[in-house]
Amino acid sequence: MARVVLVGSDGEVRNAVARILAEEKIVVTTADDPAQAIAGITRFDGPPDLILVDRRLARGREGELIDRFRSRTELQDVPVVLYTVEPSASRSPANEDLRDAFDARLVLAIVEAICN
């Protein structure tokens, strides 16, 4: 069973992505920021299969964000994937924004390809 750490500061989007992954039997630990993500990784027996990070959290400092994960010995070989969700112009439930912003099947395909 794949284990993913999902990092994002927008709780609605983070929870919606987590639900989509959980529906596919992917174990998800969520975090608001990289420090919280690193602390949450201790919930796993060993490193996660993937770290999925909302690119907006990096605010243009993606390299620094990835370096922070890579500085941990147990995370050096764990893939880090940055994703971006742009909310639609009309405010609706997070799942609707997610459908407008990107194809959930594509996110699942990327996660499954990396984790399998």
- Reported as a single tens digit per residue, the pLDDT across 45-94 is 889 999 998 888 777 778 888 888 888 888 889 999 888 766 554 444 54
Domain housing 99: 3-115
CA dihedral sign of residues 19, 21, 26, 27: negative
Q: What is the pLDDT of residue 25?
A: 92
| Lowest-confidence region among 9-13, 17-21, 39-43 | 39-43
Note the pLDDT tens digit of each residue in 4-16.
Answer: 999 988 888 888 8
The span from the CA of 87 to the CA of 90, in Å, is: 8
Query: What are the angstrom distances between the C-alpha of 25 and each of 4, 18, 21, 34, 94?
Result: 11, 11, 7, 24, 20
Task: Report the CATH number that the domain containing residue 38 is assigned in CATH.
Answer: 3.40.50.2300
Spatial contact of 44 and 73, defined as CB atoms under 8 Å apart? no
pTM value is 0.79
* Total domain count, the chain: 1
Backbone angles phi, psi at 24, to 5 degrees: -95, 15
